[in-house]
Structure formats: structure tokens, C-alpha cells
Structure 1
Amino acid sequence: MGIKIGIIGAGGMAAYHIAGFRQAGAEVVALCDPNEAVARSAAAAHGVSRVFGDAESMFAALPELNAVSVIVPNKYHAPLTLQALAAGKHVFCEKPPALNALEMAEMKGLAERNKRTLMFNFNNRARPESVAMMDYVKNGEAGRINSAQAKWVRRTGIPGFGGWFTNKVLSGGGALVDLLHMIDLSMYLMGYPEPAWVLARTFDDFITDRTFKGPWGIPDAVNGVNDVETAAHGFVSFKTGQALSFQISWAEMVQREEVSAAFQGTKAGGMLRRLYGADGVDATATDLCEFYTQDHGRSSNRVVTVESDPDMGRVRSARNFVRSIEGTESPLNTPDQALILMKIIDGAYASARSGEPVKL
């Protein structure tokens, strides 16, 4: 009997989750959202037969559900995940894992006690170029990775004004929590070491300037709250002696949007980078995936060629969740890693408030 999955949240990411689940052979049997009209529309678009207004009703009506995906504003990640885990379901949750490390620790603990799979949509790990680079790292070709640099910067990329993205109570933070993917990917390549301390600064320039709004996100909310950062810069030192620097922004005076993770190892280094064009992924956008070595005393830059993946690993990430439940693939991420990531995020915000390094 195949795995049956319910979707919590009718947002745009549902399409990728559903596609990945179905590729893995799972059956998507229900979709729930407090806005039932939106839920019905999304269910019809994706061929999902059952619609509910809340997760509790879905669980009561469909006890055969094996798993759920959680696609809601950040504030509700932990409550809905905990509710699903308590009901005996496996959970695939959108990023960030939670509002803070305390919530993440509670989610991790319940998943372990109930022996359920808990994963998060760190989809950039599933991009073909990331998979290829990780193969080099796993094979030992990079040696020990000493340092890495994580970057996701935008010039005009605030995802709406006054909505949940810019309201700290609902989001937990701004650009840092929204665009944490490259921090996660860099640490994934580094072996997800335990952090020792973090030093960070955040900036809220342009947070009310609508000329810095991006072409995605949600509509502006009249009289809404805009109390999160637009940029975060920081440095993490790990107990292993490794180091990571990061630059994350929605709105910052850069040439154009860049998404990249670079690393330097004892045998080789590497770079994964997308430079967006003026209109996103257009003719002026460029992708780079390179592995840097010294071959017989000469510098060698190895270009890594992979298949195109316009959804940036989102479908493959969801597919991996189902196969992890089945035991046919290893999970691309774990609750232990998610907890480390949230400790770093919490520490970065604490450091920005105090102006001092924060021990983790």
C-alpha cells in the first residue's frame, strides 16, 4: 500500500511538494487551508479530491494518512508539525524549521519519541549541481573543508510590505530566515559541524521603501508591520576549527541577485553560484559549478556539468521525503541539522542585538 499524504497550506510551494510526492509513488489525498475557497481552487488545480479547513478535521476524517507537508507562514511551522507528529504522521515542513531553536528542539524530540520522519524543504541540497559537488566531498576529493562563504543577496527583493514576511511575530525574522538556504548548503558540504560562536550584524535599510519590493512574495498589507531586517552579515566559528561567513539580503546595494556557496578544503575548493538577470532567470542570468584543484603543481578549474533543474531541487527534495519514509533513500536533511541551523540563526540575532559574539 502506497504512502498517503495530506497538504497543509494551499500556497505556491504546494505544486512542488505534490509533484515530488507523486514522482515517488505517494498518493496526495487531501489539502487543507483556513481559506477553504483557496484550498478548493488549489485542490482542483492539482487533482486532489478532499478539502478541509484545518488539520484537525483532516486527521479525524482520514486516519489512514501517513504523512503531511506543512506550507504555512513560519509562526505555524512548529504548532502544525507538533500536531501532525502527535497524530502519528511523518512531516515534511517548509523552511525555516521553526521560529527558534527551542521550538525546533521540541519538534525533534517528539519526532524521535514517536519514531516518525521529520524533514525540511532545504531544496538547494537537492539541486543537481549540489548533488554533484557533494559527491566530490564525500569521495574525499576536497579534503577537510576549512572555510566556506554563503551568500544570497538581492538588490530589490523584499517579499511584500506589511504581510507575514515583514512581521517578526509571524516570520521570526527577515532576510536571514527567509534566505537561509546557502548557510544550510555550506554547512551541509562542511559536514554540519557544531558551532562554537557567531558574530553578526543586521540592517533594516529600505524596509519601508516600496521601490525595493521584489516580484514575488505576497501583496502589501495596509497598516501592516515592517519590523524585520533586510540584510544580515556574519561569521560562524565551529568547534572543529572550521569557519563560515555569510551575507544575506532582500535589499542591499549589490549589482544583482546572487545565490552562492563557496568552500576551501585542504585538497580542493568549490563554487556553486547563480547570478540572476534583470528579469530573474533570463538570457543574462548565469550559473556556475566549479571544483578547484592543483594537479601536478598546476591550477585546475574543473567545470561540473549537470542537467538543468528549473525548480531548484524542490521536486527532488519532496521526492526524497517519501523515499526516506520508505527506506529507499537516505534523508537529505535531519532534525539534528535543523536544530544546529536554528541555534546559529538565534545566535546571529542575539549577536546583532548585543553587538558582541555569542557562544552557542
Structure 2
Amino acid sequence: MALKIGLVGAGSMAQYHIAGYRRAGAEIAAVADRCGERGRALARELGAAYFPDLTSMLASGKADAVAILAPNRFHAPMTLEALAAGVHVFCEKPPAVTAAEAVAMRDAARRSGRILMFNLNNRARADVRAIVDFLKQGKAGRVNSAQAVWMRRTGIPGFGGWFTNRELAGGGPLIDLLHMIDLALCFLGEPEPDCVLAQTFDDFISNPDFKGPWGVAQPGGVTDVENACHGFVRFRTGQVLTLRCSWAEMIRSEEVSVAFQGTKAGGMLRRTFEVDGDESTTEDLCELYWQRGAEPVNREIEFVKDESMGRVESAENFIRVLKGEDEPLNTPDDAVWLMKIIDAAYRSAAAGAPVFVERT
């Protein structure tokens, strides 16, 4: 019998989830969305039941697992509600809006005995998997340092909508574009953060000249998040990470990359855009670097470009994990470390000083 999935949210991200779940043999059995017209339309298209909210969906018993596709502020409460009801959860990024929420979600999953995963979809990309395989074989040695970059020139999403509202989103590009930070943590081996120093900037957050193609604008709405964040993380292992995240900064065009340096080899994944957000203008690079004696060796890894940036494969992985056919691409512990870094970066920027991260 096919696993039955409930979608909580019928926005644009649903298409990737649907494709991944179906490819893994699951059934989309229910759709919940507070926007009745949008939710009913998707439910009709899928032949699924419609519900106005998560609570009524859970009460119906129609879903073995739910996908949380709601704005950031609802990730933790909805996940906790679903786990308490005994269903598995696949939650969109970011895991939560605070580290404390991420810890509560992890602990609830442990208590319930249910699977909790997050759509940190870039981990599913073919180029990322190639790098992970290289690292698992020990060919890079000890990875000492990494650099995570997701920067845009004109990429502020939905002026005045939930993306630019701290209460709903938890922050700006640091929390929205966290994928490269997540990949850097993966390449570093998921070390425990010790100290974070960061600075945020909001020079352009209210300037419509820097608007991107994402999100739904609400004229006169709130714009109280950063447009850029730069920071440095030291881990208890002695490893380090630098991060650069922006929706709007004076750069040539959008860049999405993560690089790492090990004692035996280093590497880089990079996607650049000639025009911010225009997939047709992208250029992808995946390279490894090492020494053969005094001779530098650079090797380019060939891979099939994934236009969804791993979104479909990530959703498919969730179902395969539930069926016992695959290992999870991420764990609740991974999400906790990620959110602790983001939390500490915001606190460091507010305090104008380094922030030490408490152990959990």
C-alpha cells in the first residue's frame, strides 16, 4: 500500500514535492491551505482531499506523513503538532526561526519515534553527492575550512510580504539562503559550533530598485530584516567557516557557492548567474584541487545539471527513508547546528561582538 502524504501549503514549492513523492511511489492524499481557492484547486488537480488547516487534516487520518510548506514562523508549531499526532514530517527550510525551536522539534521527533527531515535540497544535487563521496573516502584529509556564499545583486523577495517580515520569516537572506551554509557544515563533517562573529546590513531592504522575482509583494508592508550578512564561525574542533549571504549587494550578479580546504585536497561548487534569478543564464562548476608533489592538480567533475537544485530528489529521499530504502540526506541534529549558527549570527550582529554557542 502506498504511503499517503498530506501537503500543508499549496504554493509554488508544492510542485517539486509532488514530483518527488510520486517518483518514490507515494500518494498525495490531502492538501491543507488557508487560502481555500488555491488549496481546493490543487486538491482537485491531485484527486486529493482538501482541508482548511493542518489540524483538520490530521484529525481525518488521511496522511501517514505531512510536508510543511508554510511560511517560516509556522514550521515549528506545525511540525510539533504533526509529530504529536503520530505522523512523519518533511519540513521546508529553514528548519525553524530560532535554534530553541529546532531543538524542540528534534526532541519531539525522538519522543514520537517518527521521522523528521528538512528540505535542505541542495544535498541531493549530483555535484554535491560527488563531493560528499570524495570526502567520505578520506581523500581530502581533515577539512580545516570552508566558505559559504549565496549573494544576489537585485534579489529581495516580495517587498512587504512575509519574506521581509522578521516576525514571519525569522530574518532575511541569512535564514532564507542558508543552503550553502548547510552544505559547508556537511563538508566539514557537521562539527559543533563554538563561536560566531557576524554583521548584518539593511541599506537596501526598503529600496524597490533591488526587488527580485520571488515572493508576493504587499505595498506598505513590513521590511525589517537585513539585506546582507557576513560572518565567521569557529567550531569546537578548530575548523572554521566564513559566510556571505545577501539579497541586495553591490556585486556583478548572483553567486551560489561553497568551497572547502582539506589537508590532502580542496574543492568548490559554484553556480553563477549572468542575471539574478534567471536560470537560463547560469554557469555551473564542480572542481577538486590537490598536489602531486610540487605539481598542482585541478580536476573538474562532470555531472548532470539539476534545474530544481535537488528539490525533487530531496522529496523522493524522504519517502525512500520512510520505506527503508535509503539513508536520510539530513537529520534533526544537522538542523539544530545550522539554526544555532544562524541564531548566534543574528545575536552577534545585534550585540556588535562575538557570541559563544551553548551546547545542547
SS at match of 2:334: helix
8 A contact 1:155–1:257 mirrored in 2: yes
8 A contact 2:99–2:339 mirrored in 1: yes
TM-score (norm 2): 0.97
Match of 1:140 in 2: 138
- Aligned amino acid, residue 57 of structure 2: M
Is 2:225 the counterpart of 1:224?
no
Match of 1:308 in 2: 305
SS at match of 1:240: coil
8 A contact 2:24–2:316 mirrored in 1: yes
How many angstroms apart in 2 are the aligned matches of 1:261 and 1:161? 28
- Aligned amino acid, residue 50 of structure 2: V
SS at match of 2:299: strand
- Aligned amino acid, residue 228 of structure 1: V
User: CA deviation digits over 1:41-63, x for unaligned, max 9?
Assistant: 22334x242111111111122x1
Is 2:195 the counterpart of 1:197?
yes
TM-score (norm 1): 0.97
SS at match of 2:131: helix
How many angstroms apart in 2 are the aligned matches of 1:343 and 1:358? 11
Match of 1:239 in 2: 236
Match of 1:55 in 2: 54
* Residue of 115, 118, 130 corresponding to 1:117: 115
Q: Percent identity?
A: 57
- Aligned amino acid, residue 302 of structure 2: T
Is 2:215 the counterpart of 1:250?
no
SS at match of 2:150: strand
User: CA deviation digits over 1:103-144, x for unaligned, max 9?
Assistant: 111111111001010000000111110011111001111111
SS at match of 1:81: helix
How many angstroms apart in 2 are the aligned matches of 1:285 and 1:115? 42
How many angstroms apart in 2 are the aligned matches of 1:206 and 1:146? 34
Task: Give the number of equivalent residue pairs.
Answer: 357
How many angstroms apart in 2 are the aligned matches of 1:270 and 1:6? 39
Change beyond 3 A, Cα 1:350–1:77: same
- Deviation of the 1:78 alpha carbon: 0.5
How many angstroms apart in 1 are the aligned matches of 2:166 and 2:280? 36
Change beyond 3 A, Cα 1:225–1:284: closer
Match of 2:39 in 1: 39
How many angstroms apart in 1 are the aligned matches of 2:298 and 2:219? 51
8 A contact 2:154–2:276 mirrored in 1: no
- Aligned amino acid, residue 340 of structure 2: K
Match of 1:23 in 2: 23
- Aligned amino acid, residue 13 of structure 1: M
- Deviation of the 1:296 alpha carbon: 3.9
Match of 1:171 in 2: 169
User: CA deviation digits over 1:251-273, x for unaligned, max 9?
Assistant: 00001000000000000000000
Match of 2:322 in 1: 325
How many angstroms apart in 2 are the aligned matches of 1:278 and 1:350? 33
How many angstroms apart in 2 are the aligned matches of 1:130 and 1:279? 22
- Deviation of the 1:216 alpha carbon: 1.5
- Aligned amino acid, residue 158 of structure 1: I
- Aligned amino acid, residue 34 of structure 2: P
8 A contact 2:146–2:240 mirrored in 1: yes
How many angstroms apart in 2 are the aligned matches of 1:176 and 1:69? 23
How many angstroms apart in 2 are the aligned matches of 1:295 and 1:122? 35
Mapping 1:174-189, distance limit 5 Å:
174-189=172-187
How many angstroms apart in 2 are the aligned matches of 1:259 and 1:195? 23
SS at match of 1:12: coil
How many angstroms apart in 2 are the aligned matches of 1:280 and 1:339? 29
- Deviation of the 1:64 alpha carbon: 4.4
Change beyond 3 A, Cα 1:113–1:35: same
Change beyond 3 A, Cα 1:283–1:314: closer
- Deviation of the 1:282 alpha carbon: 5.2
What stretches of structure 1 of length at least 5 have no aligned partner?
Answer: none
- Deviation of the 1:340 alpha carbon: 0.7
How many angstroms apart in 2 are the aligned matches of 1:16 and 1:214? 21
Mapping 1:262-281, distance limit 5 Å:
262-278=259-275, 280-281=277-278
What stretches of structure 2 of length at least 5 have no aligned partner?
Answer: none
SS at match of 1:312: coil
How many angstroms apart in 2 are the aligned matches of 1:102 and 1:285? 37
How many angstroms apart in 2 are the aligned matches of 1:197 and 1:319? 35
- Deviation of the 1:284 alpha carbon: 4.2
SS at match of 2:100: helix
- Deviation of the 1:297 alpha carbon: 2.9
How many angstroms apart in 1 are the aligned matches of 2:210 and 2:221? 17
Is 2:343 the counterpart of 1:346?
yes
How many angstroms apart in 1 are the aligned matches of 2:243 and 2:135? 21
8 A contact 1:31–1:48 mirrored in 2: no
How many angstroms apart in 2 are the aligned matches of 1:209 and 1:31? 36
